[in-house]
A and B are shown apart, each in its own frame.
Chain A
Amino acid sequence: MTQLQGAAPLGATVVAEHGPTDPRDQRPVRGRKKVGIGKVIAWIVMVIILVITIFPFYWMLRTALSSNGALYGNSTSLLPADFSWGGFERVFGLQTVDEAIAQGGSGAKLDFWRYLLNSVVVATCVTVFQVFFSAMAAYAFSRLRWRGRNAVFGLFLLSLMVPVIFTLLPNFLLVRQLGLIDTLLGIMLPSLFMAPFAIFFLRQFFLNVPHEVEEAALVDGASKVRVFFSLIVPMSAAPIATISILTYITSWNDYFWPLMVSYTDDSRVLTVALGAFRAQSPQGGPDWAGLMAATLIAALPMIVLFALFAKRIVNSIGFTGLK
């Protein structure tokens, strides 16, 4: 590939530069001179992939709105089999035990409002504290001058390499020693203080804020603390929003850690509740309508979040390759 030599030295660093850029800024892809057979086949493959991607979401909805009895006779129609809100009613504990069992539920007490609330509390607290503390650290690593800065930052980078699994068992023991088993605080605690990735991510943006702006504020007598809160943070609102959304999604979807810590409804989050729901199958087969209703409830907030912020999330992907 000798003819490559004239190319701009872009290299592996370019991934980093794919920030919230407008996709229209990207260089245009080849002109459409010939709409050949190749292009038609390519579109067909693309559509098939999109259908595979989206179909399970639809099937979740379709099943959630069916009634269990009818699913046995009609497991293939695209519309709900014998439309019913029963699945959702069971999941939110709106049916009596007898009703639930009659409709193919397990009759076990379910209270998804509770789990939904727990998930919201955990994801919200983790996001707020983690992003705030990570932003503070990122500020110290990017805009403050102090001895040992690079060495300490190196330690944080090192922690990016520690696989999560390895910290889970000892962290469980620590949370147990603190008496926080089966509490929401116990679930949140390990991720409240920081995430190495968030620090890393925000530092890149803080480094980019022009020094002139900061110096002008300092000359005017502002303290460095004030510079952080009223200058750096507002100027980096977009990346802070991005990392917040990503943190929220990650926290919401976490399963392994909450599974270790939570034992009762007090601290059960949606993902764990789903696993438990699936495990308590009634006689005569699972309560599919209820299970899919529950699954949909767990997925819905993320789908809504995504619908609102799709562009921001999609455009941040170049960065999150580290995650």
Chain B
Amino acid sequence: MAITSPGVAHSAPNGRTSVDARRRRPDDTKLALLFILPAVIGLVVFYFWPLARGIWLSFTSWDLLSPSQLIGFANYQRMFADPVFWNAVQVTLWYVVLNIGIQTIVALVIAVLMQRLTQSTFVRSLILAPFLVSNVVAALVFFWILDFQLGIGNQMLEWIGLDRIGFFTSEEWAIPTIALVNVWRHMGYTALLIFAGLQAIPANLYEAARVDGASETRMFTGITLPLLRPILGLVLIISVIGSFQVFDTVSVTTGGGPVNASRVLQVYIYENAFAQFDFGYASALSVAMLAILVVVTFFQYRITRAGQTDLN
């Protein structure tokens, strides 16, 4: 979260505050408590308390009706032996790799194109439009466009001489299709983030490189990519965390199928909680999800060195 914090500084040095303001300083505590009260309620009741409760629940067996029972690590033992869980982990990882891989490349292309071709707010707005509709809307539109019989997508495949594809109905295509739907929704947003990063690269670097006779490709690999790395790193961390939490698109299109082909972790958690009423096991699965996110974020941060920059 480092990217915004240092951006703004106090405008007046503390030493020059007026006598009046200095006299008021100790009084602020009461007022401050009043001002942060609602936010603190929100933080404790809906962030920290659920965090603790979720971990606690993962050590219990509970169906909402009878009282919950503490069962130690039984949920975790079950999880490690559960083939559907491991399948869900694999499916989720496959989704994240496809989604993030394609999305980042496409977004990078869009961002560079925008920087070179046009600064127009209109174009940027068009690019961002899919991000403003919900996952559900995006999923349903593509559910129709890619319908096996009537979808225009499959008609187009036929026109260029390919076989129709059961995008949402075949085991091998379900996850790539869902990944692509979410690429469509997020590519413009990601592109604008990268675009903001591109704008920060000093133009004189390009001027200098051009004077030295560098080619466009050379400038891209020698200037753009290295200087973009910190921002690209942050963008990746944010989008990977979001990507791991995929649910909406799967839920309204395949529902996890065919068989388990698109049963991502979140869908499996939801089913355990709201179809099996097994809240203990669902909580253990959530803890696993949290652990995966923490580990992935940590390594990403280390690998991309997202906090550092080459610019100074």
Binding site for B on A (CB under 8 A): 1, 3-4, 7-18, 23-24, 26-30, 38-39, 42-43, 45-46, 49-50, 52-54, 56-57, 59-60, 63, 71-72, 75-76, 133-134, 136-137, 139-141, 144-147, 149, 152, 155-157, 159-160, 162-167, 169-174, 176, 189-194, 196, 199-201, 204-205, 207-208, 210-212, 215, 218-219, 224-225, 228, 249, 252-256, 259-260, 271, 274-275, 278, 285, 288, 291-292, 295, 298-299, 302-303, 305-306, 310-311, 313-315, 317-319, 321-323
Contact = CB atoms under 8 A, between A and B. Distances in A.
Nearest to B255: A279
Contact of B109 (A45, A171, A219): A45
B127 A30 contact: no
B234 A321 contact: yes
12 contacts: A23-B121, A42-B117, A45-B109, A140-B35, A145-B28, A165-B269, A166-B51, A166-B289, A167-B46, A169-B50, A170-B283, A218-B24
A18 B202 contact: no
Nearest to A152: B36
B141 A295 contact: yes
A314 B124 contact: yes
Interface stretch (B5-13, B71-79, B93-101, B171-179): B5-13
Contacts of B199: 14, 18, 26-27
A43 B32 contact: no
What is the predominant secondary structure among interface residues of chain A facing chain B? helix
B235 A321 contact: yes
B262 to A, nearest CB: 15
Nearest to B27: A224
Contact of B42 (A166, A194, A204): A194
A53 B129 contact: yes
Chain B interface category by residue count = 35 or more
Given A23-B121, A140-B32, A204-B4, A169 B282 contact: yes
B291 to A, nearest CB: 10
Given A146-B29, A249-B132, 14 more contacts: A1-B222, A4-B311, A7-B312, A30-B116, A56-B141, A134-B39, A172-B273, A192-B42, A193-B43, A193-B46, A252-B134, A291-B144, A310-B121, A321-B235
B54 A167 contact: yes
A309 to B, nearest CB: 10
Contact of A193 (B5, B29, B42, B133): B42
Contacts of A43: 117
Contact of B238 (A288, A298, A321): A321
Contacts of A53: 126-127, 129-130, 184, 188
B81 interface: no
Interface string B157-191: 00000000000000000000000000010001100
B108 interface: no
Contacts of B123: 46, 50
A163 B29 contact: no
A295 B134 CA distance: 10
A167 B50 contact: yes
Nearest to B4: A16
Given A42-B116, A260-B274, A133 B39 contact: yes
B110 interface: yes
A208 B57 contact: no
B231 interface: yes
Nearest to A170: B50
Contacts of A155: 43
Given A140-B35, A275-B252, A75 B129 contact: no
Nearest to B41: A193
Task: List the 10 closest A-B pairs by CB distance, nearest first.
Answer: A193-B42, A16-B7, A253-B134, A170-B50, A137-B39, A211-B12, A14-B200, A194-B39, A140-B35, A133-B38
A169 B279 contact: yes
A137 B134 contact: no
A215 B12 CA distance: 11
B193 to A, nearest CB: 5
Contacts of A133: 38-39, 42
A59 B274 contact: no
B142 A219 contact: no
Contact of A63 (B129, B144, B247, B289): B144
Interface string B127-161: 11110111111101111110101111001000000
A11 B312 contact: yes
B116 to A, nearest CB: 6
B290 interface: yes
Contacts of B266: 165, 256
A218 B20 contact: yes
A12 B141 contact: no
Interface in B256-272: 266, 269-270
Contacts of A167: 46-47, 50-51, 54
A296 B109 CA distance: 29
Contact of B54 (A3, A63, A136, A166): A166
Interface in B188-235: 188-189, 192-193, 196-197, 199-200, 202-206, 208, 216, 222-223, 226-227, 230-231, 234-235
B4 A319 contact: yes
A12 B150 contact: no
B46 A146 contact: no
B112 to A, nearest CB: 9
A15 B6 contact: no
A13 B310 contact: no
B63 interface: no
A138 B105 CA distance: 36
Contacts of B8: 16, 204-205, 207-208
A132 B308 CA distance: 34
Nearest to B241: A163
A290 B11 CA distance: 56
